[in-house]
Structure 1
Amino acid sequence: MLVYPAIDLLDGRCVRLRQGRFDEATVHSEDPVSVARSFVEGGALGLHIVDLDGARLGKARNLDWIYRIREVVSVPLQVGGGIRTFALASRLLKAGVDRIVLGTAAAEDPRLLQKVLEGWDPDRVAAALDMRDGKLVVQGRESESARTVEQVLEKLRALNVRWLVCTDVTRDGILIGPNQELTTQMVAEGFRVVISGGVATLEDIERIRDAGAAGCIIGSAFYGGILTIAEANVAAGGV
């Protein structure tokens, strides 16, 4: 299992949101490139980057930061947030992003998801499921989708989506442990699953690993110095 340190970009800064709320953003750095470099120097084997402005507004706002990070680190990059056109999806993949993550587009625009999957290696494309109290949320996690989780999963299976990035938004940024039930459920659906939200201990990582997840995203536990990347990698079985 691969551990992805999280880099969330808002107004060109590296931030953490509490339970997905933009009004509770904590700024950790004015220089996302230095954060990315620091994570990699600490042993990160991949990075998960989200353009929060893009997720909220529907248009990419932090592309320059993403490209600059790509230039200075060699580890795989998984990037999401505001990818709602084929042109932007292709632009990111051509620029060397290893995997793009479609959230709102995956839930609301399956034709776009299908086009991206047909145009690119499906292992470079993930669908995001952001959950709040069992409901699927979209548009930067600020709106509830008209579709149920079951409806979206059925469509994703029909499109032969291979990768899911699943977040329990109610746990995001507050270090209370991941949603183990969500992890188990999504792995059982047959997808390669990357879990996000609430990871705070090595035991959390081990439980996600043992449930069969392909990856986990960790933010606050790294930024707060609760976990080191090296020990997280060991718990994940990545090193």
Structure 2
Amino acid sequence: MKIIPAIDVISGKAVRLTKGDYNQKKEYSDSPLEVAQRFEQAGITHLHLVDLDGAKAQKPQNLEVLEVISSKTRLRVDFGGGVKSGESLEAVLKAGAQQVTAGSIAAKDPEMVFSWLKHYGAEKVILGADVVDEKIAISGWQEDSGLDLFPFLEQYLAKGVTYCICTDVSKDGMLQGPSIELYKKIIKEFPQLKLIASGGVAELNDLYELREAGLYGAIVGKAYYEGRISLDELAAFNK
């Protein structure tokens, strides 16, 4: 299972939010590049970079951060936040992202995301599924899309989606453990999906449980930044 550390960015700085709340923001002293380089030195190969300004502005705002990390590390970066148009997606790939996460746009404008999958291929586009009680949440988790998770996934798999980041909103930043049962249910229904867990990882044992459940990857954020999982532990797990 891939360990995928997250770096959330506001105004060029690494931050963490709790449950997506911009008012519950913690800023870190190290630059996003310094954080990314530490991950790379520990043998981590993947990075989840989230442009929180972009998510608010509906257009990527921190492409310079992406460019710096992509040019100064060998990390495989997936980028999310504000990618709402073909133009934005093109800019993100040009700035060095290996993959782009289609979040709210996948619920709001599926035809556009289908066209991205067709044009760029499934290796470039990750489906973002933010979930509250098996319903898709959109617009920074403030809005219920009215879409049920399983038909949503089925529709995208039919269009060639390979990767999906699934975030249980109730777990994000809470350090209470990930939604193992939900992920098991998804994997049982769609075994071909490369499912990436997001939200709730609180300790090393959570990662072992996710691997045991058959997850392709797990995003690690607050547990690392709050010192609950060390870089050495992540490196050892990753081997």
TM-score interval for Structure 1 and Structure 2 normalised by the shorter chain: over 0.9
Amino acid at match of 1:218: V
* Mapping of residues 17-96 of structure 1, within 5 Å: 17-29=17-29, 31-96=31-96
Aligned to 1:8: 8
Deviations 1:187-207 (A, max 9, x none): 222310110111111210011
The answer on 1:218 being equivalent to 2:186 is no
Deviations 1:114-173 (A, max 9, x none): 111111131221100111343321112222213222332232122121110011121111
Deviations 1:2-31 (A, max 9, x none): 101110012222111111111111111362
Amino acid at match of 1:206: Y
Q: Distance in 2 between matches of 1:147 and 1:179?
A: 19
Amino acid at match of 1:119: H
Aligned to 1:98: 98
Query: Structure 2: which 5+ residue stretches go unaligned?
Result: none
Q: Distance in 1 between matches of 2:135 and 2:200?
A: 17
The answer on 1:143 being equivalent to 2:143 is yes
Q: Distance in 2 between matches of 1:136 and 1:233?
A: 33
C-alpha contact (below 8 Å) 2:13/2:31 kept by paired residues: yes
Amino acid at match of 2:186: M
Instruction: Give every structure 1 segment of 4 or more consecutive aligned residues whose post-TM-superposition deviation is greater than 3 Å.
Output: none
Report which stretch shifted further, 179-188 or 216-225.
179-188
Aligned to 1:195: 197
Report which stretch shifted further, 127-136 or 13-22.
127-136
SS of residue matched to 1:147: strand
Q: Distance in 2 between matches of 1:174 and 1:156?
A: 29
Q: Distance in 2 between matches of 1:44 and 1:167?
A: 21
Shift of 1:56: 2.5
Shift of 1:233: 4.2
CA RMSD of aligned residues (A): 1.6
Identity of aligned residues (%): 33
Report which stretch shifted further, 119-128 or 90-99.
90-99
SS of residue matched to 1:43: coil
Aligned pairs, how many? 237
Report which stretch shifted further, 159-168 or 82-91.
82-91
SS of residue matched to 2:123: helix
Shift of 1:86: 1.1
Q: Distance in 1 between matches of 2:76 and 2:203?
A: 24
SS of residue matched to 1:194: strand
Query: Structure 1: which 5+ residue stretches go unaligned?
Result: none
Aligned to 2:177: 177
Aligned to 1:230: 232
Q: Structure 1 residues 27 and 202 mapped into 2: Cα distance closer, same or farther (>3 Å)?
A: same
Amino acid at match of 2:214: G
